[in-house]
């Protein structure tokens, strides 16, 4: 009997890893549709969690839907039409019919709804009921497509006869939420008794339900409380697996390498200290102590140095570079832009010169002969410190003995780029720096294991920056333009930042600045109905401002779409004072250090994350003169106003980052997506901070007790981690 049960367990467990065609009702054509959703195995199918749940206790009929209340009605769409009541207004109108009557629904400026919705679809509409032209009507209601016409549903699920909470699974064309629910329900039945890879003692310690129960309850919860317990269990597992993966990967990359115990009190470092024109602040001393302490240990450092622009990170990195040189080795420091890399040359170069350390700068615009010379001196070991951009990642950039890798603005680089640079110095120490404050929970998700220090205050009490929140009305915009004009008259410079690069032929496909995270975010925003159809685009704005608003000032354009050499050229002219007004996208967020710039206007500020706006405003007030930042925003809701208001009321980047995470606007951009969305389906970096700490601690303890996770207790977990991440790295390679 016991053996029989064990066999069932094994069978159920293998079932999860089997191709999805093994599941009932999944034939080849349906498997193709599932593949579009990234579902290849039965396990993937079961990990396709509901997007949303429909609480049937709020469902009413059309006849009983009270006007003025927010409710859900379920019925069949009768007609769907796209109308143009005015030249610039697009309106999608649909009629929903149930046994008791007709509910009209309208969506403004969302023409794609007309493609998404078709006659005969069974849908649930959630929204506020109004009364208009003799009909009950919902304006921009939330739509859940329950089934599409012509689709034979296995058990015509009459919504009313199911439980009180209906899961709405993600579907795709030809495979409705209804079908997905059916497929998942039978796969769940066939996988009952699945082996739980989480050791029981861990589950007990954290009060986590079994895997089987969690899967059942996240898909078909009896109550939302049950659902949240199920989510917690599954999220814990996601985090634990990621932590184990990151730690195992790090150990693998360190295998067969000899970590360096750096000499941290050598002559070069002493000379550099002596050459400093100031003394380090207490905070800097503490952070430097932590960094040098880690470097001195015979293990691979992974240290994250957090601090706003101007808090003095670069000068600490210079100390670390000198320590690497004192140890007889080489060091490299990489920046995301050519301008930033050149600034190292200007700021750190003289310190290195004073400490008698040969250094060079390698970027995309380094000449061929210069590059050849640098590479030769680098591989011979004569050159000790190299600054640069992505150009450092080229395979022919070979070091003699690289033991320290410094990555500035680390979140601007992908996982692959960071490891490509690290691979040039097997066993090297890594110092990552970032001006975007990252809460510890997020740092753990990015690195698994790391040490961390933070700089909170600027050593030089710089100029003041005043942030003003304005509307987009012409009178307000005129105030901002006047401030720009005044500044230029006094010999200063200004930035005007726009959310979009350009307005493409098809307005809706407008994308944000170059980083993939931003583009994804726009798609999310579109889905959730945020309207970017009137957002300002840098290309058009630059032309308009130069012609109509600032005809007597020198206006230039800068976007991430421009070629690196072009970008460097424009930034160079602005830095040299040859341009008065720089119209740009968020490319200026990183690395622009023009002390003479005193005014910034941010168009459509409501479209940006707080951390991003904080970074942006850090571009002004960098010299002796105070800065002024105008945020032009249409904050329609109190929440939106309060969100942007936080910028006016605090200077603390860490606080703003926490707020961003809480509103989920920035977490993804910071790079958790680097691990692939597939792995982290349920984790919410802000809300799950406690769970992340717990799982991180557990991962450390598990690996300490059983380094290969080979025991009977942990082997299933090790297997799970291997399977999950083997597939992920395949995908990463494919995707480039
Ligand atoms: P970050 O890299 O964090 O942007 P930097 O290291 O470039 O900051 O420092 C910003 C400015 O402050 C630089 O001009 C630097 O020389 C100066 N600075 C750094 N540390 C100190 C200090 N302890 N006292 C005075 N000035 C400092
Ligand atoms: Mg810096």
Q: What is the pLDDT of residues 484-517, one digit of tens each?
A: 999 999 999 999 999 888 765 443 333 333 333 3
420 & 306 share domain: yes
Instruction: Find which of 114-118, 245-249, 366-370, 455-459 is predicted with most confidence, using mean pLDDT.
Output: 366-370
382 & 410 share domain: yes
User: Quick check: 537 pLDDT over 60?
Assistant: yes
**Best residue for ligand 1 mutational test, from 275, 284, 315, 458 (most atoms within 8 Å of Cβ):** 315
397 & 485 share domain: no
Residue 502 CB less than 6 A away from ligand 1: no
pLDDT computed for residue 648 by the predictor: 83
Q: Give the separation between CA 107 and CA 90, rounded to whole angstroms.
A: 8
pLDDT computed for residue 106 by the predictor: 92
Let me know: does 176 contact 183? Beta carbons within 8 Å. no
443 & 515 share domain: no
283 & 409 share domain: yes
Residue 363 CB less than 6 A away from ligand 1: no
- Tokens 């991440």 — which residue? 725
Higher pLDDT, 320 or 174: 320
Model confidence over 1-36: pLDDT tens digits?
455 556 566 677 778 888 999 898 899 999 999 998
Instruction: Find which of 135-144, 247-256, 436-445, 713-722 is predicted with most confidence, using mean pLDDT.
Output: 713-722
Nearest CA to 685 among 442, 411, 517, 520? 442
Q: Give the separation between CA 620 and CA 254, rounded to whole angstroms.
A: 42
Of the residues 455, 479, 508, the one at which a domain ends = 455
Distances (CA, A) of 698 to 237, 240, 301: 11, 8, 21
> For residue 703, is it within any domain?
no
Give the list of residues 6+ apart from residue 223 with CB closer than 8 angstroms, or none.
Answer: 165
The minimum-distance atom of ligand 1 relative to the CA of 316 is 6
pLDDT computed for residue 2 by the predictor: 52
137 confidence band (pLDDT: 50, 70, 90)? very high
Ligand 2 midpoint to CA 67 (Å): 57
Let me know: does 404 contact 428? Beta carbons within 8 Å. yes
User: Quick check: 670 pLDDT over 50?
Assistant: no
- Residues 40-58 have a mean pLDDT of 86
590 confidence band (pLDDT: 50, 70, 90)? low
Residue 460 CB less than 6 A away from ligand 1: yes
Length of the chain counted residue by residue? 736
Please give the residue range of the domain that contains residue 310. Answer: 267-455
Ligand 1 midpoint to CA 566 (Å): 28
Average pLDDT along the chain: 84
Higher pLDDT, 726 or 575: 575
- Residues 545-570 have a mean pLDDT of 89
Q: Are strands 142-147 and 597-602 parallel, antiparallel or unpaired?
A: unpaired
Of the residues 394, 426, 455, the one at which a domain ends = 455
Of the residues 153, 168, 183, the one at which a domain ends = 168
First vs last C-alpha separation in the chain: 50
pLDDT computed for residue 666 by the predictor: 39
CATH code (residue 112):
2.40.50.140
The minimum-distance atom of ligand 1 relative to the CA of 284 is 23
**Best residue for ligand 1 mutational test, from 460, 594, 623 (most atoms within 8 Å of Cβ):** 460
Q: Give the separation between CA 635 and CA 638, rounded to whole angstroms.
A: 7
Higher pLDDT, 399 or 153: 399
Ligand 2 midpoint to CA 314 (Å): 5
335 & 471 share domain: no
Q: Give the separation between CA 240 and CA 693, rounded to whole angstroms.
A: 10
CATH code (residue 531):
3.40.50.300
pLDDT computed for residue 728 by the predictor: 62
Task: Please tell me the least confidently modeled range out of 250-259, 277-286, 546-555.
Answer: 250-259
> For residue 661, is it within any domain?
no
The minimum-distance atom of ligand 1 relative to the CA of 315 is 6
Let me know: does 407 contact 413? Beta carbons within 8 Å. yes
The minimum-distance atom of ligand 1 relative to the CA of 281 is 23
Closest-CA residue, ligand 1 atom 15, reads: 312
Model confidence over 251-276: pLDDT tens digits?
887 888 888 999 999 999 999 999 99
Two tokens, residue 352: 């290195």
Instruction: Find which of 113-127, 291-305, 554-568 is predicted with most confidence, using mean pLDDT.
Output: 291-305
Model confidence over 159-199: pLDDT tens digits?
333 457 888 888 777 787 778 888 999 999 988 888 899 99
> For residue 230, is it within any domain?
no
89 confidence band (pLDDT: 50, 70, 90)? confident
User: Quick check: 354 pLDDT over 60?
Assistant: yes
Let me know: does 293 contact 451? Beta carbons within 8 Å. no
Ligand nearest to the CA of 409: 2
139: which DSSP letter?
A: E
595 & 635 share domain: yes
Ligand nearest to the CA of 312: 1
Ligand 1 midpoint to CA 281 (Å): 10
Nearest CA to 342 among 398, 408, 400? 408
296 & 370 share domain: yes
Nearest CA to 138 among 204, 69, 212? 69
pLDDT computed for residue 508 by the predictor: 36
Higher pLDDT, 85 or 270: 270
> For residue 606, is it within any domain?
yes
Model confidence over 193-244: pLDDT tens digits?
888 999 999 999 999 999 999 999 999 998 889 999 999 999 999 999 999 9
pLDDT computed for residue 729 by the predictor: 57
274 & 359 share domain: yes
Q: Are strands 89-98 and 70-86 parallel, antiparallel or unpaired?
A: antiparallel
682 confidence band (pLDDT: 50, 70, 90)? confident
Instruction: Find which of 127-141, 391-405, 421-435 is predicted with most confidence, using mean pLDDT.
Output: 391-405
**Best residue for ligand 1 mutational test, from 317, 459, 591 (most atoms within 8 Å of Cβ):** 459
> For residue 681, is it within any domain?
no
Number of structural domains in the chain: 3
- Residues 673-701 have a mean pLDDT of 78
User: Quick check: 53 pLDDT over 70?
Assistant: yes
User: Quick check: 525 pLDDT over 50?
Assistant: no
Residue 309 CB less than 6 A away from ligand 1: yes
411 & 503 share domain: no
Nearest CA to 519 among 501, 496, 498? 501
Beta bridge partners of 101: 98
Closest-CA residue, ligand 1 atom 11, reads: 310
Give the list of residues 6+ apart from residue 342 with CB closer than 8 angstroms, or none.
Answer: 361, 363
111 & 76 share domain: yes
Let me know: does 414 contact 674? Beta carbons within 8 Å. yes
> For residue 510, is it within any domain?
yes
> For residue 399, is it within any domain?
yes
Residue 310 CB less than 6 A away from ligand 1: yes
Starting from the edge strand earliest in sequence, which strands make up the sheet with 359-362, in order? 359-362, 385-388, 330-334, 402-407, 429-434, 302-307, 451-455
Closest-CA residue, ligand 1 atom 5, reads: 312
Q: Give the separation between CA 312 and CA 508, rounded to whole angstroms.
A: 41
pLDDT computed for residue 527 by the predictor: 31
pLDDT computed for residue 674 by the predictor: 46
pLDDT computed for residue 414 by the predictor: 76
Residue 459 CB less than 6 A away from ligand 1: yes
Nearest CA to 249 among 79, 423, 368, 365? 423
Closest-CA residue, ligand 1 atom 19, reads: 312
pLDDT computed for residue 579 by the predictor: 96
- Residues 65-73 have a mean pLDDT of 89
Ligand 1 midpoint to CA 284 (Å): 10
pLDDT computed for residue 663 by the predictor: 62
- Residues 599, 604, 609: CA angle, nearest 5 degrees: 90
> For residue 610, is it within any domain?
yes
Two tokens, residue 10: 């094994």
Ligand 2 midpoint to CA 615 (Å): 12
Task: Please tell me the least confidently modeled range out of 6-15, 503-512, 534-543, 674-683.
Answer: 503-512
439 & 538 share domain: no
């Amino acid at each position: 009997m016991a053996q029989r049960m064990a066999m069932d367990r094994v069978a159920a467990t293998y079932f999860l890893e089997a191709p999805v065609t093994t599941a009932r009702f999944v034939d080849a054509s349906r498997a193709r549709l599932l593949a579009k959703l990234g579902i290849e195995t039965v396990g993937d199918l079961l990990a396709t969690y509901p997007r949303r749940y429909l609480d049937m206790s709020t469902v009413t009929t059309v006849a009983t839907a009270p006007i003025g209340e927010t409710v859900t009605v379920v019925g069949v769409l009768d007609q769907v039409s796209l109308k143009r009541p005015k030249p610039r207004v697009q309106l999608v109108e649909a009629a929903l019919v149930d046994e008791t009557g007709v509910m009209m629904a309208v969506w403004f400026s969302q023409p794609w709804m007309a493609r998404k919705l078709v006659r005969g679809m069974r849908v649930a509409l959630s929204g506020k009921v109004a009364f208009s032209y003799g009909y009950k009507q919902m304006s921009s209601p939330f739509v859940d497509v329950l089934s599409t016409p012509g689709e034979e549903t296995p058990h015509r699920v009459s919504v009313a006869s199911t439980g009180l909470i209906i899961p709405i699974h993600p579907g795709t064309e030809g495979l409705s939420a209804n079908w997905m629910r059916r497929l998942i329900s039978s796969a769940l039945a066939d996988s009952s008794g699945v082996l739980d890879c989480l050791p029981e003692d861990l589950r007990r310690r954290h009060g986590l339900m079994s895997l089987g129960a969690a899967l059942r309850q996240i898909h078909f919860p009896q109550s939302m409380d049950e659902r949240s317990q199920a989510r917690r269990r599954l999220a814990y597992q996601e985090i634990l697996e990621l932590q184990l993966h990151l730690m195992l990967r790090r150990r693998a990359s360190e295998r067969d390498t000899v970590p360096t115990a750096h000499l941290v009190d050598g002559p070069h470092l002493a000379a550099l200290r002596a050459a400093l024109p100031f003394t380090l602040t207490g905070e800097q001393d503490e952070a430097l102590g932590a960094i040098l302490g880690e470097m001195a240990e015979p293990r691979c450092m992974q240290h994250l140095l957090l601090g706003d622009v101007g808090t003095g990170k670069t000068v600490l990195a210079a100390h670390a570079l000198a320590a690497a040189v004192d140890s007889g080795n080489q060091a490299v420091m990489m920046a995301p832009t050519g301008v930033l890399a050149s600034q190292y040359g200007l700021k750190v170069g003289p310190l290195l010169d004073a400490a008698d350390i040969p250094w060079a700068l390698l970027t995309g615009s380094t000449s061929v002969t210069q590059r050849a010379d640098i590479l030769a001196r680098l591989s011979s070991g004569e050159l000790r410190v190299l600054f640069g951009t992505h150009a450092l990642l080229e395979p022919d950039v070979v070091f003699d003995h690289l033991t320290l890798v410094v990555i500035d603005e680390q979140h601007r680089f992908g996982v692959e780029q960071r490891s490509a640079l690290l691979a040039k110095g097997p066993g090297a120490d890594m110092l990552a720096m970032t001006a975007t404050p990252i809460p510890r929970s997020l740092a753990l998700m990015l690195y698994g294991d790391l040490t961390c220090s933070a700089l909170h205050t600027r050593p030089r009490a710089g100029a003041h920056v005043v942030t003003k929140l304005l509307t987009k009305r012409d009178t307000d915009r005129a105030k901002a333009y006047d401030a720009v004009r005044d500044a230029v008259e006094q010999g200063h410079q200004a930035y005007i930042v726009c959310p979009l690069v350009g307005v493409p032929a098809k307005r809706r496909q407008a994308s944000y600045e170059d980083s993939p995270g931003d583009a994804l975010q726009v798609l999310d925003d579109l889905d959730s109905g945020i309207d970017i159809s009137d957002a300002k685009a840098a290309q058009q704005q630059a032309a308009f401002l130069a012609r109509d608003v600032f005809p007597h000032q020198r206006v230039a354009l800068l976007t991430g779409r421009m070629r690196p050499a072009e970008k460097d050229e424009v930034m160079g002219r602005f830095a040299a004072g040859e341009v008065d007004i720089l119209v740009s996208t968020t490319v200026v967020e990183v690395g622009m250090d023009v002390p003479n710039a005193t005014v910034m206007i941010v168009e459509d500020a409501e479209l940006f994350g707080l951390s991003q706006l904080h970074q942006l405003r850090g571009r002004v007030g960098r010299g002796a003169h105070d800065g002024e930042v105008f945020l032009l925003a249409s904050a329609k809701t109190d929440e939106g106003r309060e969100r942007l208001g936080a910028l006016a009321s605090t200077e603390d980047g860490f606080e703003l980052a926490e707020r961003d995470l809480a509103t989920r606007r920035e977490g993804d951009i910071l790079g958790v997506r680097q691990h692939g969305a597939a792995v982290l389906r349920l984790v919410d970096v802000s809300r799950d901070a406690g769970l992340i700490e717990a799982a991180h601690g557990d991962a450390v303890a598990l690996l300490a007790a059983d380094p290969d996770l080979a025991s009977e207790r942990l082997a299933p977990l090790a297997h799970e981690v291997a399977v999950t991440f083997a597939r992920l790295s395949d995908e990463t390679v494919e995707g480039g």
